[in-house]
Amino acid sequence: MAEQDEFRLDGKVALVTGGARGLGAECARVLAAAGAKVMVTDILEEAGAATVAGITETGGTAEFRRHDVTDEAAWATTVTQTIDTLGGFDILVNNAGVEVVGTLEDSTYEDFRRVQNVNVDGVYLGCRQAVQAMKPGGVAGRGGSIVNLSSLAGLVGVPHMSVYGASKGAVRVFTKDVAVECGRFGYGIRCNSVHPGLVETEMAESLYQQSHELTGASLEEVKATFTAAHPLGRLGTPRDIANAVRFLASEASSWITGVELSVDGGWAAS
């Protein structure tokens, strides 16, 4: 394989959860542009269909399926439909997630369980289905790459993010467990996590608003504080994260598994 081709994904099939908008939509677009056929899943049907339309209009191959990542049965049917419709299953991007912003004291157990249900249970169910399908003898059976979206908050403490951080810390260690197990069993499946800093998405705008309400600082002050936390001096873009996901999905990272890749403008290092 020529060196320049190692980043290509021709002949691969990817499933991206939470792919209707934000980071998930950009991951789907980048993977499709690299040659993968992409199954975009989300509970947001209209936005998901729009993302797929944008991919197909630019020459890519993509399908949309409504998918609740907390539903085990839905995972099984989604994987089956991906294989039947697109001809395989080589890449899973566990991107779907929710967040709660607030102090530990102000949070509720209901908040905690809801975030864990989506961010942790959803990743567990996805990895389990992917491993069963991708391993030798599975319905896809040609190995693959799993990329779990964690967060900077899964690496370091962030004020007002304890509930969210707990879920993303769990994803970080679970990723390593899956990576080691699949490696030792000779499954040909790699598993890595990506840890974004603050990225310019709708979720970031929600974080600004909630931080403004919690601290009393103006929205401009909140944005300036978050921006300054990144040593590179800017917030991330969805493309920054999607490019990292593409790398981990590709053969260019064939000897990388069980790592946490911080894509955070240097925040975790500072």
| DSSP type of residue 236 | B
Please state, rounded to an integer, the average pLDDT across all residues of the chain: 95
**Residue 268 in domain:** no
The Cβ of residue 204 has, within 10 Å, a number of other Cβ atoms equal to 16
What pLDDT digit, counting tens, does each position of 219-266 carry? 899 899 989 999 999 999 999 999 999 999 999 999 999 999 999 999
Amino acid of residue 177: D
d(CA 207, CA 150) in angstroms, rounded, equals: 17
Tokens matching residue 84 = 């039947």
The Cα-based distances of 64 to 43, 82, 132 in angstroms read 10, 10, 22
**Residue 226 in domain:** no
Residues 6 or more apart in contact with residue 83 via CB below 8 angstroms: 13, 89, 133, 139, 140
What pLDDT digit, counting tens, does each position of 113-146 carry? 999 999 999 999 999 999 999 999 999 999 999 9
**Residue 160 in domain:** yes
Amino acid of residue 269: A
Give the pLDDT confidence score for residue 232 in this predicted structure: 97
Domain that holds residue 139: 3-198+237-263
Compute the average pLDDT of residues 79-108: 96
What's the total number of domains in the chain? 1
**Residue 101 in domain:** yes
- Does residue 45 contact residue 64 with C-beta atoms inside 8 Å? yes
From the list 109, 124, 164, 208, the catalytic residue is 164
- Does residue 172 contact residue 195 with C-beta atoms inside 8 Å? yes
**Residue 228 in domain:** no
**Residue 209 in domain:** no
Active site residue 109: no
Give the pLDDT confidence score for residue 4 in this predicted structure: 62
**Residue 84 in domain:** yes
What pLDDT digit, counting tens, does each position of 175-206 carry? 999 999 999 999 999 999 999 999 998 878 87
d(CA 189, CA 134) in angstroms, rounded, equals: 7
**Residue 218 in domain:** no
Q: How far is CA 216 from the centre of its chain?
A: 31
CATH number for the domain including 132? 3.40.50.720
